[in-house]
Each structure stands twice: as structure tokens, then as C-alpha cells.
Amino acid sequence: MSLISTSSKGVYVIAVTPFAEDGAIDSASVDSVTDFYLEAGADGLTILGMMGEAPKLTYTEALAVTRQTLARAAGKPVVVGVSAPGLAAISELTKAVMDLGAAGVMVAPPGNLKTNEQIISYYQQIVDALGSDVPVVLQDFPLSTGVSISNDSLGLIIETCPSIVMIKHEDWPGLAKITALREAEVNGRRRVSILCGNGGIFLPEEIARGADGAMTGFGYPEMMVEVCALAAAGDIDRAQDIFDAYLPLVRYEQQPGIGLGARKHVLARRGAIRSSAQRRPGTPLPRTAIEEIERLILRQEQRLAALGR
């Protein structure tokens, strides 16, 4: 199975972890949601991320989900989130999932890192502990982690940690950071792959500034696939038209907390998973929210129809 690299691109969908109403992992839905993502055109998957409810799984469950997803993913690269409070747990899980065939691992910084030096040192310890042959995705998501990584810090990490091949970019605002990353490469710094997060809410601008695609979740992943493809083909206006049609729902799913409930509702509605249940502690979607989502979907379909889709 292939590894991710500095030239990886396209759409890596952040996969949900499907649960039954009783909180057990819904294995049948692990298969069906994997199929769903790949049929939508995903170039890869990222499992056990924050929106995959990873901290709610035991180690054994995390391995089981990884094994099953890899078996189903038909050779497409699967990145596994391995963030944990300590290096030992990160190393242990990394070794296990790489042995199973993962394409790489994703690591977000722990919230106690403050200064540039602490952040840089953390990633140097990570790559040292994981070994130079494990491709690492650095997740840059200050809104959730509380850790702000400056352009210069990111640059030093890239320079000193060759096995970090990809940035999951979801600083907010973060458009200028993409530009800064690409400009540094023009000036000689090694290239990294940049896949963008934040539910895709700035996807057109991100692609235009040099991002290689998206690594995020959305109930209609085909939107991200099509926007990336149209942008790659140079049809920016059509890409933006498609994007705009989905934007009201993108905005809704991007809400912290309740966004996961919204996403799982959409996925269940579309048959990708059997239940929208989250494992405890989760935020059940209130009736009003479901009505809002249904209304947004109806309008979205009308608008897509007007675009000939």
C-alpha cells in the first residue's frame, strides 16, 4: 500500500467513525462509509481524526477500525490520526497502524505547548521517535488545539523534520499561511503537500493559493472532489459556482461540536452509515437543527439542479 508524500494531492476525506445506537462500533457502516467516500471520488482517507471521535476509542478499537478501513480502501492511501498525550502512545499506535498498511500518520500539537521553541522541539521529538520512514502529517488547527504555529516555526519544522511530508492546514485565518509556505518553496525550501481543513469553507481560495487539495470532512465529499478537479482544470468560476451551492451547508457543518452531529445526520440520510449516533459523550442533534439541515439540503439540490447537476 502506498505512502503519502510531499507530492500527495487531491481530497483525503476525514472519515467519521460509525457507531450503533448503543455506542458499539458499527462495522457494517465502516465498510459502507469507506465505499461511500471512495465512490465520491476521494483520493484517500484520514481516519481517527478529531471528527472521527478517536479519543472515544480504545486502543484495540482504534486498531480494528484501521484494519477494516485499510482492507476496504482498495489500495487508496489511508492516513491515521495518532495524536495522544505522550510519545510512547503515539509511537505504539504508529508502529501498529503502519504495520497494518497505513499511508502515514497525523499528529496535532498538545495544548500545553506555548513558545515557538516548544512547538518545534515537539515535532522534532515526534519524527525522531517514529523513525524517518513514517510519513507524518502535521495538523495545524489552532482553534481546536490552542497552539499557534507561526510561519517561521512551521518553516523550521519543515527544514528539520524531513519525514513531515504534509501539512493539514486549518489555521483560521490561514490563507496567508498557504501563500507564505509556497513562497518559501520558491526561495528554496523543500516542498510539502498542503491539504486544507476547516470543513472546506475556504477551499476555492486555498486551491488558488497553492494548496494541493483538501483533508477534511463534509457530508457531500463529491463537492470537494469536483471543486478540486475543476480548479485543477483551470475552470475556477465553475469550481466556485459548485462550491457556492454547497456553502450554506458547509458553513453549518463547520460549527464546532454540533457540526459532527450535522455531518453524521447527512451521511445517515444518504445511506453512508446506518445511524447518526455518536459515542458518548456526544451532542445529539435537536429537532430544530435537523429541520435547518433538511431545508439547506433542499435548497442545495435546487441550486445544483440550476447548475445542471
**Binders of a copy of itself in range 234-273 (CB under 8 A):** 237, 240, 244, 247-248, 251, 255-259
Is there binding between residue 198 and a copy of itself (CB under 8 A)?
Answer: no
Residue 296 is inside which H or E element, if any? Answer: helix 287-306
Set of cell numbers at residue 200: 472546506
Any residues with CB less than 8 A from the CB of 139 and at least 6 apart, and which?
Answer: 49, 81, 83, 106, 107, 108, 109, 145, 168, 170, 197
Residue placing its CB nearer to a copy of itself in the complex, 25 or 42: 25
Residue-by-residue DSSP string for 106-166: EEPPPTT--SHHHHHHHHHHHHHHH-TTS-EEEEE-HHHH-----HHHHHHHHHH-TTEEE
Name the segment binding a copy of itself (CB under 8 A); options: 9-17, 70-78, 80-88, 264-272. Answer: 80-88
What φ, ψ does residue 82 adopt, rounded to 5°?
A: -125, 15
H/E stretch holding 292 reads helix 287-306
With CA atoms as reference, report the closest residue to 199 among 65, 51, 58, 64. Answer: 51
Q: How far is the CB of 259 from a copy of itself (least distance, A)?
A: 7
Over the window 86 to 125, marking each residue x when it contacts a copy of itself by CB under 8 A and - when it does not, the resulting string is xxxx--x------------------x--xxxxx--xx--x
Q: How far is the CB of 10 from a copy of itself (least distance, A)?
A: 23
Decide: 226 and 232 in contact? Cβ < 8 Å.
Answer: no
Cα–Cα distance, 207 to 61 (Å, whole number): 35
55: contact with a copy of itself by CB under 8 A: yes
| Shortest spacing between CB 306 and a copy of itself, in angstroms | 10
- Decide: is 39 part of the binding site for a copy of itself (CB under 8 A): no
Least CB distance to a copy of itself at residue 195 (A): 20
Residue 286 interacts with a copy of itself (CB under 8 A)? yes
Q: Judged by CB under 8 A, does residue 24 bind a copy of itself?
A: no
**Contact residues for a copy of itself (CB under 8 A)?**
54-59, 61, 84-89, 92, 111, 114-118, 121-122, 125, 129, 142, 148-150, 152-153, 172-173, 175-176, 179, 201-202, 205, 208-209, 237, 240, 244, 247-248, 251, 255-259, 279-281, 286, 288-289, 292, 299
